[in-house]
Chain A
Amino acid sequence: MATEQSVDLVDDDTVGLFTKAVLLAALTAALAQISIPLPGPLVPFSLQPFGMFFAGLVLGPLWGGVALLLYILVGIAGAPVFSNANAGLGYVIAGQGTGGFLVGFLVGAVVAGAIAHRSIAPKPVAALSVPVQVVALTAAVLVVYAIGIPWMSFVTGLPLTRAATVMAPYIPPDLLKLGIAIAIVQGGYLAGR
């Protein structure tokens, strides 16, 4: 007796968004391992927020969120994808007091995508105006700090203002990263994406 099972193929558009989400999750993980040392007492220049920026801008709120969720899940599963090749649920919860920033990246990608595209389906990146990109990425950075600083305060027992003071040196580099991300989009490097 012949057995039949229907095959439910994934449509081409979904495959394209899915593979971009997978690769941007891998890129976020790779960028988390790279930082540029700065002279003197300045904090090292981490490239990790670019993963969140590009996930939101290229993929929109749904698939941008999927990309960052995949990044976090793979880290919880044990792949050494967090900064300094760390992994595990313990690192997401605690990190170096910075576990909330990982969750902040996820929410930040969703927020950036929602503001930039204003729908679940992403538009071409070239169709996004500069002011919209600025608002979307600024909101994403604000969300990251709005989640990361109270989380740090909760984990370490530091008062909120003191946790904010500890993280203050990271804000100017993050604003510079925001500007670089927008310059990359304006440079046409994401045209056709």
Chain B
Amino acid sequence: MLSYRPGSTLAHRLDPRSKLLVQFGLAIAAVAHPTLPWLVGTTAFALGTLAAARLSPLAVLRSYRVVLAVLALAPVVAGVALGPPWFRVDPALRSALHVGRILPVLLVSAAYLTSTPVRDTRAAVQRLIPGKPGQILGIGMALVVRLFPLVLADVREVRDAIHARGGEARPLRDRVRLLAVRSLERTLDRSDRLSVALRARCFAWNPTLPPLSFDRRDYPVLAVGIALSVSPLVPV
């Protein structure tokens, strides 16, 4: 599983806003140009981002093995025909090219995930989206990250309790209804308690943002991100 690892690589030292822009820019450039030269170029760029985060490409590919295995089926599905010749190469190749352009997007995403703590992305969102919407999303992200393990534990506990009472013998509809109802009840109870706790602590719109620093090294990264984002508009 890909997750943040503390470090001091170039990717770790960049501001999350410039890294987010590069991610979006590369995704736009990759999907807008389903051609072999762009596939090679974006993949080389993505390998560069992995080097900047000191990540092994093989380790990243291993982490994405399920995603890649499912995506690899797409050319097979595209090529299958319901009559002679039973398999057509052209649609399969076209699909393979489409799937191939996703690879650099996944690689850059891996570099971002391993070099950027969630709190930095939350701070970037809160700064990039002005006013109360940014506040809501920023604080909301922090709370969801904090509460997700608790809610997941609740849902697993409910599932295990249903199993312990022989729930597997019940019809699917009953099992799903029980699991959804009990999980939802616990979740909404947590919501009520969180609401009381926030009000008791005078929850306010006034922001206390985590610090971010946009450094000199971020400007070239920002320029690359902008160039990639507008690349579909420029004939190459």
Asked whether any CB of chain B lies closer than 8 Å to the CB of A154, the reply is yes
- The secondary-structure label for the interface of chain A is helix
Asked whether any CB of chain B lies closer than 8 Å to the CB of A9, the reply is yes
User: Which of B6-14, B51-59, B179-187 lines the interface with chain A?
Assistant: B179-187
**Chain A residue nearest to B184 in the complex (CB):** A54
A154 to B176, CA, bound (A): 33
How does the 8 Å CB contact mask read for A91-123 relative to B, with 1 for contact and 0 for none? 101111100000000000000000000000000
Asked if A30 and B106 sit within 8 Å, CB to CB, the answer is: no
Asked if A86 and B77 sit within 8 Å, CB to CB, the answer is: no
CB within 8 Å for A78 and B176 given contacts A18-B136, A30-B155, A96-B71: no
Asked if B206 and A5 sit within 8 Å, CB to CB, the answer is: yes
A156 to B14, CA, bound (A): 32
User: Which of B189-197, B215-223, B227-235 lines the interface with chain A?
Assistant: B189-197
- The secondary-structure label for the interface of chain B is helix
A76 to B31, CA, bound (A): 18
**Within A1-17, which residues are at the interface with B (CB < 8 Å)?**
5, 7-10, 12, 15-16
Using a CB–CB cutoff of 8 Å, the interface residues on chain B facing chain A are 1-4, 23-24, 27, 31, 34, 66-67, 70-71, 74-75, 77-78, 91, 94-99, 102, 105-110, 112-113, 116-118, 121-122, 125, 136-137, 140-141, 143-145, 147-148, 150-152, 154-156, 159, 172-173, 175-177, 179-181, 183-185, 187-188, 190-192, 194-195, 198-199, 202-206
Using a CB–CB cutoff of 8 Å, the interface residues on chain A facing chain B are 5, 7-10, 12, 15-16, 18-27, 29-31, 33-34, 36, 38, 45, 47, 50, 54, 58, 66, 69-71, 73-74, 76-81, 84-91, 93-97, 154-159, 162, 166, 176-177, 179-181, 183-184, 187, 189-190, 193
